[in-house]
Structure 1
Amino acid sequence: MDDFWVFGYGSLMWRPGFEFEEARRGRLFGYRRALCIYSYVHRGTPEKPGLVLGLDQGGSCTGMVYRVNGDMREPVMSYLRSRELVTNVYLERTSPVHLADGRRITAVCYVADTGHHQFAGHLSAEDAAQRVSFSQGQSGHNVDYVASTVAHLKEMEIRDHWLEDVARRMDALTR
């Protein structure tokens, strides 16, 4: 069975949770990293939803792509589906990803379902910061989720200007 690739843009970048043969930086075009998914459990409640990351339409997103041994397709895909498709707010897709070394590969990725009731829409950095600043759920405060994401991206030397703007605005609101 042929090897396959998985694209990570959030926690899959620093905590993939599966074995892989190779990890590379890659850019997915047509989608951007955004706080566009309402969280009713982990980072918010139904009364005060938080926000978590999704791939929203437009722009591009730099992330990590993992080459997985083809013999591991079933267990890895089962793991990813149980992790990413719990409420079906994400859609499983295969999309072209451009690697930093010039190669173009096809990778499995999970994009936001814009028709799902948990899709928050295209929020401004100010609106996202407002919601994040005052939400918390079973996994903790939404501020911690965003701060951790921004810190991990900086460690990986990946800039996300919109998310960094959200974090700056969030910090100003929570001081």
Structure 2
Amino acid sequence: MLIPFRDPNALLERTRADWPDHGDLWVFGYASLIWRPEFEAAEQRTALVRGWHRAFRMRSRVNRGSPEQPGLVFALVSGGMCRGRVFRIPRERADDELVRLWQREMPTGVYDPRWLPCQTPGGTVQALAFTLSRRSPSYTGRLDDAQLLHILRHAEGRYGTTLDYLLQTAHALRDCQVRDREIERLVALARGQGLA
């Protein structure tokens, strides 16, 4: 299935226009941004976002899979809550880093970028988060364990396998003292099949 192209530049301009106070840039990480942010943060904190949850339900046809064997990556989907990390980029570097972040996360405009209130030990901050609509063609919905195992066994893209992505995310969350029972279940499922 072809993913409809949405203009990343238009989405970037809208995100800039909605940027609270145009001060320091806060970014919410819930998966690979935690363990591979590709920017230097002046500060990072554990954070809780309400109304959204981390879900292993986004197809990856390039980074962690291929058109012939799509992989999976995590997405921030509406409902529930999500623990992750927020990163602060100082204002003087924020514009440049936002453009670099956009090139990484938004080359096809698949995400719906949003400024979300993130509760941290130092107070609430408005952070940029990359969310996914359940109406997106990239959203898989619930997959059964047999489908998940097939993907974990076979999907590989330019940044590596879906399995490696899952394991790195699980490791990073453990390091942050963030528990995610579904990720723990998926890792146990993979280990039970000798994949990890």
Deviation, 1:4, is 2.8
Residue identity over aligned pairs, in percent, reads 32
1:15-60 CA distance string (max 9 Å, x none): 2222322111100111111111111122222222110111112111
Counterpart of 1:71 (choices 92, 99, 123) is 92
Q: Which amino acid aligns with 2:192?
A: A
What is the aligned counterpart of 1:52 among 47, 58, 73? Answer: 73
**When the two structures are aligned, how many residues end up with a matched partner?**
174
Give matches, 1:79-90, under 5 Å: 79-90=100-111
User: How much is the aligned-residue C-alpha RMSD, in angstroms?
Assistant: 1.9
Question: Match for residue 139 of structure 2?
Answer: 119
CA distance 1:8–1:125, shift in 2 (3 Å): farther
Is 1:9 the counterpart of 2:19? The answer is no
Q: Quick one: structure 1 residues 125 and 67, their matched pair in 2 at CA, closer, same or farther if it must change by over 3 Å?
A: farther
Q: Mark the CA change 1:17 to 1:138 in structure 2 (over 3 Å): closer, same or farther.
A: closer
Paired amino acid for 1:162: E
Contact 2:46 2:176 in 1 (8 A): no
Partner of 1:33: 54
The 3 A distance-change label for structure 1 pair 154 and 137 is same
Q: CA offsets, 1:142-172, max 9 Å, x none?
A: 2111112111211222111101111111222
- Kept in 2, the 8 Å contact 1:126–1:166? The answer is no
Check the 8 A contact 1:129/1:167 in 2, yes or no: no
- Contact 2:117/2:125 (8 A) holds in 1: yes
- Deviation string 1:120-152 (CA, Å, 9 cap, x unpaired) is 124456653443233222333221111121112
8 A Cα contact 1:92 1:109, kept in partner: yes
Cα drift, residue 68 of structure 1: 1.7
In structure 1, how many angstroms separate the alpha carbons of the residues matched to 2:48 and 2:85?
8
Q: 1:136 aligns with which of 134, 142, 156?
A: 156
Cα distance in structure 2, aligned partners of 1:160 and 1:125: 17
Task: Give the letter aligned to residue 167 of structure 1.
Answer: V
Q: Note the residue ranges of structure 1 that are not aligned, 5 or more in a row.
A: none
User: Which residue identity lines up with residue 141 of structure 1 in the other structure?
Assistant: T
